[in-house]
């Protein structure tokens, strides 16, 4: 009898998961390698720190609220900041008072506007019959670790449903351009990696969906099922990249990918 998909997933805090990036290859590391082996290596050595932008914080907060619920959201985030008694207004985020306050609490800080935006996106996903159906039952932020192409790999998957499969939540500026953004940011490679690593411990290739919600009015929410042919091609290219990564590790040679002359032959 096949195991319940929920039983093969690991639950652990995000910081614990990210701390193991030096031991396990993840989808973001593989994306860096596909872009530039030297970039991958310099990040691996800690010479290029990961950048944390306000948009990333907002995306994490929206994921927490939409996938894990209000209790988890309130445990992980606080809203606003200390009030200046002279003005009755919050201190600016670049002030010393704000910095001291932010370091004294064990939560990420959101502005009032960011918190409202998270609740609006949550409501938009909740009122989408397709999206709420996919997210009705499952495991949020489930982690899987396994050897894939003879390398230890890990994936932290937004949502795994025992009924529907893998569901990846994306926030975007404009749903009209989501498909082109998905190609630009290589979402298919990310999701093919998730599915392949999960298949190593579950012995089945699950369907894959993307749920995207806008960060601005009217907060449209759309659902896409990722085509099997797209996932197969992305998996093939991922496995070719992993093979190339192992060769780089063996030779300790890390190219940029631009060492050879290229021909610009189109308008």
Q: What is the pLDDT of residue 1?
A: 52
Angle at CA of residue 207, ends 149 and 230, nearest 5° = 65
8 Å CB contact between 254 and 248: yes
In our burial notation (b when 16+ CB lie closer than 10 A, e otherwise), range 162-179 reads eebbbbbbbbbeebeebe
pTM given for the model:
0.92
pLDDT, tens digit (0-9, with 9 covering 90-100), for 228-256: 999 999 999 999 999 999 999 999 999 99
Q: What is the pLDDT of residue 188?
A: 98
8 Å CB contact between 102 and 109: yes
Other C-beta atoms closer than 10 Å to the C-beta of 234 total: 21
The structure tokens listed for 205 are 């290739």
Q: What is the pLDDT of residue 107?
A: 87
In the chain, the domains with their CATH numbers are: 27-250 (3.90.320.10)
Nearest residue to 154 via CA among 115, 186, 201, 188: 201
Please state, in angstroms and rounded to a whole number, the distance separating the CA atoms of residues 236 and 214: 31
Q: Are strands 108-110 and 77-79 parallel, antiparallel or unpaired?
A: parallel
8 Å CB contact between 124 and 214: yes
8 Å CB contact between 156 and 123: no
Mean pLDDT by 10 residues, the chain (267 residues): 80 93 96 97 93 85 97 92 81 79 84 94 98 97 97 98 96 97 97 97 94 97 98 98 98 96 90
Q: What is the pLDDT of residue 90?
A: 78
Q: What is the pLDDT of residue 85?
A: 84
pLDDT, tens digit (0-9, with 9 covering 90-100), for 117-134: 999 999 999 999 999 999
């Amino acid at each position: 009898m096949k195991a319940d998909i929920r039983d093969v997933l690991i639950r652990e805090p995000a910081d614990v998961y990210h701390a193991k990036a030096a031991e396990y290859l993840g989808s973001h590391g593989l994306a860096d390698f596909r872009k530039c082996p030297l970039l991958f290596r310099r990040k691996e050595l800690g010479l290029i720190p990961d950048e944390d932008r306000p948009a990333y914080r907002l995306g994490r907060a929206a994921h927490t609220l939409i996938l894990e619920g209000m209790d988890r959201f309130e445990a992980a985030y606080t809203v606003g900041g200390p009030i200046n008694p002279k003005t009755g207004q919050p201190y600016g985020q670049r002030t010393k008072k704000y910095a001291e306050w932010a370091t004294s609490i064990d939560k990420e800080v959101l502005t009032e506007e960011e918190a409202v935006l998270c609740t609006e996106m949550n409501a938009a996903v909740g009122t989408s019959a397709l999206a709420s159906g996919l997210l009705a039952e499952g495991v949020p932020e489930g982690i899987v670790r396994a050897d894939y192409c003879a390398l230890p790999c890990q994936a932290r998957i937004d949502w795994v449903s025992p009924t529907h499969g893998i569901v990846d939540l994306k926030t975007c500026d404009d749903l009209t351009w989501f498909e082109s953004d998905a190609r630009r940011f290589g979402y298919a490679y990310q999701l093919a990696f998730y599915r392949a690593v999960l298949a190593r411990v579950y012995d089945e290739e699950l369907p894959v969906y993307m749920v995207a919600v806008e960060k601005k009015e009217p907060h449209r929410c759309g659902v896409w099922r990722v085509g099997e042919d797209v996932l197969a091609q992305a998996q093939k290219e991922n496995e070719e990249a992993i093979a190339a990564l192992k060769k780089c590790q063996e030779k300790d040679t890390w190219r940029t990918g631009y060492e050879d002359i290229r021909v610009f032959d189109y308008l």
